[in-house]
Amino acid sequence: MTQPLLKIENLHARVEDKEILKGIDLTLDHGQVHAIMGPNGSGKSTLANVLAGRPGYQVTEGKVWYRGRDLLAMAPEERAREGVFLAFQYPVEVPGVSNIYFLKAALNAIRKHRGEAEVDAMDFIALVKDKMKLMDMDEQFLYRAINEGFSGGEKKRNEILQMLVLEPTLCILDEIDSGLDIDALKVVARGIEALRSPQRSFLMVTHYQRLLDYVRPDVVHVFAAGRIVKSGGPELAKELEAKGYGWIESHPEAQAS
């Protein structure tokens, strides 16, 4: 039996005094795309942040295995170097640091971890420009400070650009589709699709079914009150779209909290 890429077992987590995740079990195999849906406050984004190691998110119970290793024991940068990537719901502005410098520093940190040489400056520029084309981004974004003054859509595209350059193994996308118009959504989806491979897996947190029209998931999980109350195929997303989240919130699992 091959090892899954990610295995989450009975994960409980709290933020400050509030317990948000109340026993999540989830197995993500290599090459799979899982969508996580659910109403606001159900714990979707919390899971994404716990997996990336955000400070202040305290795991109180359970385990997360990433390629057979204890993910929760790893520092955030170590997770990133091992191939975990979180596309932020709200990408952070970093004044004074250009996108290109940042991308290069990140790529080199990851390459160094893998025992590879630093990327050649010319190769790097060529690589980034190629990926930018795919994301419909003007080259001037390279020389602007990270996310500073970017529109919501530009920030999200920039997240996917980083993902394309860093080529992670586990891509966690936290509401990558929020605030995007349909054209931007298509571009973002194109970036995600370009990365799909049998070795790479995706965990896509989304509030809406819309994104899933462009990036077809293998499995859809529905979160409510910190638990997975239902899992199924892509048709489950359609069902949610049609019925809304009301019926989920009245689900016995959700009410058990």
Contact footprint for other proteins (CB under 8 A): 52-55, 75-77, 79-81, 85-86, 88, 91-98, 100-102, 104-106, 109-110, 113, 121, 125, 145, 162, 166
Q: Is 151 exposed, middle or buried (0-12, 13-18, 19+ CB in 10 A)?
A: exposed
Specify the residue, 68 or 96, whose C-beta has the smaller distance to other proteins.
96
Q: What angle do CA 150, 156, 161 make, to 5 degrees?
A: 100
Q: Minimal distance in Å, beta carbon 87 to other proteins?
A: 9
What is the spatial distance between Cα 144 and Cα 146, in angstroms, rounded to a whole number? 6
Specify the residue, 75 or 242, whose C-beta has the smaller distance to other proteins.
75
Contact 154, 148 (CB under 8 A): no
Q: Minimal distance in Å, beta carbon 251 to other proteins?
A: 32
Specify the residue, 58 or 98, whose C-beta has the smaller distance to other proteins.
98
Specify the residue, 104 or 227, whose C-beta has the smaller distance to other proteins.
104
Task: Specify the pairing of strand 94-98 against strand 145-146.
Answer: antiparallel
Q: Minimal distance in Å, beta carbon 227 to other proteins?
A: 26
Specify the residue, 59 or 100, whose C-beta has the smaller distance to other proteins.
100
Q: Minimal distance in Å, beta carbon 205 to other proteins?
A: 15
Q: How many residues does the chain have?
A: 257
Closest CA to 81 of 33, 127, 114: 114
- Token readout for 156 is 């999200």
Q: Minimal distance in Å, beta carbon 103 to other proteins?
A: 8
CB environment 180-189: b (16+ within 10 A), e (fewer): beeebbebbb
